[in-house]
Amino acid sequence: MLINEILDYIEINLFEFDYNSFSKFFNYNKYTLMKIFFASTNITIGEYIRSRRLSEAGKRIVNSNSKILEIALDCGYNSAESFSKAYESFNNITPSQSRKLKKFKFIEPLHINTSFPVLDYKKKFIDTVLIGFSKIFNGKPEKRSDNDEKFFISTRKKQEALRLIREPENVDWWEIIYFFNEYKYKVICSVKPSNIKYNYKQLAEISKNNNKFDFSFFPSELSDIIRKFKKYSINGLYAVFKSDEEKFPMKQLNNFTKNVYLNLDYYDLKRDKTRFELLKIHWSGKENINSRYLEIYIPIKN
C-alpha cells in the first residue's frame, strides 16, 4: 500500500530526505503525499522524520564513541548546539547524559496496517467544464467538516445562483480537493454548464417568482456572481467511489476519502495526475439537508 511505500522511502532516505525528490519519486504532488501521511499516522512527515533521526542519533550516542558534533551533522543539524537542544527536548536529557546513562528514547520505524473495507466503484468518462468559486481553509483536518459546513452555508446564495442558470437535469455539485493538505485546502463548489446565453433579467425574475429558490437576485448581482466564477477542465476517465450510506454526515468525509486515497493501488487503478480529484456531494432539498451522499472521483488512465 502507498503509505508503507512512503514509510520505506523515508527510512531509506532518512538523513538525506528532500521533499522535491520525494514528490518526483512517487510522481505525486508533495501536498497530496503529506495529506496521505498525516491521514494514516496522525503526525506530519516532518515530525516523524525528526523523531526517527533523533532516535537513530540516540542509538549512535549510546553505542559508539563518535563525537556529538559528528553525529549532529550526520543527522542534518548545522551545529552541536542546535542538535543538543532538539535532542534534550526529545529525550529530556542531554546527549552527554544519554551517553553516560546509556539511556535514550527510541521510536521504531512505522508500519501501517492497511486493512480497509472494500468500496465499490465504476468507471465514468466526463466531458465538460466546471465553473465555481473557491476558498482556502486554514487549520487541521479534524476541523475540516466544520469549515465545510460554514462554507456551504455562507455561499448559499451563490449556490442558488448556480441552480438558476442550469437546467435541473444538468445540475451537479462538486468539491475539488486537489489542493488539500494537513494545513489548508481549496474548495470549489461548481455546476456542470449547459450551452446557453444568460438572460440575467429573466433569471432574476424567475428567482423572485419561483418558490423553488430561497433568494431573489438583481440582474447585476447575478451577472457579477457568474463573472467571478473560475473555470476548470476535468475532461477524462474517472473511477467513481460512492459512499455506502445515503445519510452521510460531513464529519465522515475524511474517513471516506482516506479509504479511497490510501488504497487506490488495491484496485489496480493507475492514477492520472494531470487532472483533479473531485468530490461530488449529492444534496437534497432544504427541508432535509442532511440526506445526502458522496462520490469521490479519482482520475485514472485507460
Q: pLDDT per residue over 15-53, tens digit each?
A: 989 999 999 998 888 888 888 888 788 899 999 999 999
Kindly tell me the sign of the dihedral angle through the C-alpha atoms of 198, 172, 298, 150: positive
Asked whether the predicted pLDDT for residue 238 surpasses 80, the reply is yes
Contact, 205 vs 240, CB < 8 A? no
Q: pLDDT per residue over 55-88, tens digit each?
A: 999 999 999 989 999 999 988 888 889 999 999 9
Provide, rounded to the nearest whole percent, the portion of the chain with pLDDT above 90. 26
Delimit the CATH 3.20.80.10 region(s) of the chain: 121-299
Asked whether the predicted pLDDT for residue 152 surpasses 90, the reply is no
Q: pLDDT per residue over 166-184, tens digit each?
A: 765 555 666 655 444 444 5
* Amino acid 167: pLDDT: 64
* Amino acid 183: pLDDT: 45
DSSP-derived secondary structure for the chain: -HHHHHHHHHHHTTTS--HHHHHHHHTS-HHHHHHHHHHHHSS-HHHHHHHHHHHHHHHHHHH----HHHHHHHTT-SSHHHHHHHHHHHHSS-HHHHHHHT-----PPP----------EEEEEE--EEEEEEEEEES-GGGHHHHHHHHHHHTHHHHHHHHHTS-GGG---EEE-TT--SSEEEEEEEE---S----HHHHHHHHHH-TT-S----HHHHHHHHHT-EEEE--EEEEEEE-S-SS--GGGHHHHHHHHHHTGGGGT--B-TTS--EEEEE---GGGTT--EEEEEEEB--
Delimit the CATH 1.10.10.60 region(s) of the chain: 2-101
| Mean predicted confidence (pLDDT) in 119-131 | 81
CATH superfamily for 121-299 is Regulatory factor, effector binding domain (3.20.80.10)
Asked whether the predicted pLDDT for residue 275 surpasses 90, the reply is no
Question: What is the pTM (predicted TM-score) of this model?
Answer: 0.55
Lowest mean pLDDT among 15-19, 255-259, 286-290: 286-290
Instruction: Give the whole-angstrom CA distance, residue 111 versus residue 4.
Output: 6
The hierarchical CATH code for the domain 2-101 is 1.10.10.60
